[in-house]
Amino acid sequence: MEPELQERLDKLERHLAGKKKDLWDKLAVVAPLLIPVALTLVGWHFTNAHNSNQMELQRKEHEAQLQVAYINSSVGQSELIKDFMQQLTNADTSVRNIAIEAVLYAAPTPGKRIVEIIARNDGGAGASTARNALRAKRSDLVEALFDVQNGIRVQAAAEIMQNWSTDEELLHLLLERTNRCLGNHTQEPDCSDGIYQSISVLPSFSRKLLTAHKPELQVLLAKLPHNSPLTMGQGAVLAKRIE
């Protein structure tokens, strides 16, 4: 090989070797700086995944509680109705009125239907008592959603979802109570749990009813606490229902 050509090749080889060295030197300097960033990203990923899993577990637990409450409330209701039928048709007004209120609470599913039939019979025996009983029941159910005891909240939620999903008057009461709680800056102890339970219940109402109250629901959703992932998650479900 000619000396001149050999010299050029040697020069090129030395140049490339220098480039490689520069690259590895730079990596050696940068690598320690990248390690904390990488650890932070990995930690964030696992924390985020853990939080998501916890939220999903809590959501499933809540659904399971509702199912149990639904089953428990259904057991024995048919037998109770048989026991009440005689009192519901009793000629004695006081006996009949007591039976109307009692059946609504003791046998929520069939009892509500029976009381609604009596309430619609204007001028009929017990119609006024039946309407008052339904009004009181709505109020009791909404307040129960904000009770300090989880079992009472879950039971009320299950009953609303099962029997009252087309009742506009109850929807009005629920929106009013939830808005009042969201606007309460003194933070009553039952408010955060009650808000979550209410937002969980709202999607169970008929789409037609929810759509008719879309503006009110959108205002409500805008007030939800962003520091409560579970409530925000249920809010997303509700938002989807009124799209």
Q: Is the pTM here over 0.85, yes or no?
A: no
Q: What is each CA distance from 183 to 75, 186, 218, 230, in whole angstroms?
A: 39, 9, 15, 19
Q: Give the Cα separation of 173 and 150 in Å (integer).
A: 20
- Coil/strand/helix, residue 224: coil
CB neighbour list of residue 211: distance below 8 Å, 6 or more residues apart: 242
Q: Give the Cα separation of 103 and 84 in Å (integer).
A: 7
**Which tokens is 122 given?**
């204007």
pLDDT one digit per residue (tens) for the chain, 243 residues: 556 655 655 655 655 555 444 555 554 554 565 566 555 665 655 555 545 555 555 555 555 554 544 444 554 566 666 677 778 877 888 888 888 888 888 888 888 888 898 898 867 778 899 999 999 999 999 999 999 898 899 899 999 998 999 999 999 999 999 999 998 756 565 688 999 999 999 999 999 999 999 999 999 999 998 888 889 999 999 999 998
Give the amino acid at 150.
N
CB neighbour list of residue 166: distance below 8 Å, 6 or more residues apart: 205, 206, 209
